[in-house]
Amino acid sequence: MQEVNSSENLKTAYDHYYENNDETWRMLGAKYKVEHILAVCKGYTFDKVLEVGAGDGVILKLLAERGFAPELHAVELSASGVERIKERNIAAIKSVQEFDGYHLPFEDDSMDLIILTHVLEHVEHERLLLRELKRVAKMVLIEVPRDYRAGVDSRIKHFLAYGHINVYTPTSLRYLLLTEGFEVVKDLTDTIAPEVTRFYTFNTLKKPRNFLTSFKIDLEHSIKKLAAAIFGKKVEEQFANYYTVLCRKADHQPEIF
């Protein structure tokens, strides 16, 4: 069987990604990702945690500040990301390594938890990566954006501009995980926080800052939250922008073919 690594084009695209990246924007996004991680992991304790696709280390930085685990590790496809993580000098981080996207430099069951947040939508061979996560960790936490909508195929250029080659709903991600021998322990959905939308609208898109636009952003968020509270999980998942799931190895591996 041919050895599978991330394609050279994909690796090249991310190699210098974190050299001139907007720290404020990434920190803002990481703030809510960490909230989701802490929420689904409530009641669990982990000694050794690995983040796969750790980017520039901002999530690990915030987790370390919260005392999430005494020992943190990071692997990242991007050379610039690895260097940025090292520059942060986070005491809890015991190793930072560049990897090929599929092969983790750790022994079987050597990690209590692997975190994979906003990575799977970028992965060319998602099932191969999931099998490697399951080999190394007792539990896995995954967060993906809920990109799938009716007519998503007409917006391919939009999603590819962000490197999203896979699109998910909570249902489709659960299906993928269950068919790869994972058991869902806890999950949550969330919508984009108004402060994130405002930053993107006014700072990234450079749209004029005014009361009406800010009011619309807050109103849309409130309506989605209210609808989810009234109509339950099914509607909540339809309105969600993010899906976070904590899972572990199932007792029985399903047979594929």
Q: What percent of the chain has pLDDT over 90?
A: 74
CA distance 188 to 178: 17
pLDDT tens track for 143-193? 999 987 778 878 888 878 888 899 999 999 999 999 999 999 999 999 999
Task: Pick the more confident residue, 196 or 6.
Answer: 196
- Per-residue pLDDT, 23: 83
Task: Pick the more confident residue, 236 or 54.
Answer: 54
**pLDDT confidence band for 245 (50 / 70 / 90):** very high
Those residues whose C-beta lies under 8 Å from the C-beta of residue 230, and which sit 6 or more positions away, are none
- Per-residue pLDDT, 1: 40
Asked if residue 113 lies in contact with residue 186, where contact means CB atoms within 8 angstroms, the answer is: no
Q: Which H or E run contains 97?
A: strand 93-98
Task: Pick the more confident residue, 24 or 75.
Answer: 75
- Per-residue pLDDT, 255: 77
Give me the residue spans of the domains in the chain: 8-191+241-249, 192-239
Query: Helix 23-40 to helix 58-65 angle, to the nearest 10 degrees?
Result: 50
CA distance 5 to 125: 9
User: Tell me, which fold does domain 8-191+241-249 have in CATH?
Assistant: Rossmann fold (3.40.50)
Those residues whose C-beta lies under 8 Å from the C-beta of residue 205, and which sit 6 or more positions away, are none
> What does the pLDDT average to over 101-128?
97
99: three-class secondary structure by DSSP: coil
> What does the pLDDT average to over 113-122?
97
- Tell me the C-alpha to C-alpha distance, in Å, between residue 99 and each of 51, 64, 72, 149, 165: 12, 22, 16, 32, 20
DSSP-derived secondary structure for 1-29: -------HHHHHHHHTTTTS--HHHHHHH
Tokens 């999980």 found at:
233
CA distance 80 to 108: 28
pLDDT > 90? residue 201: yes
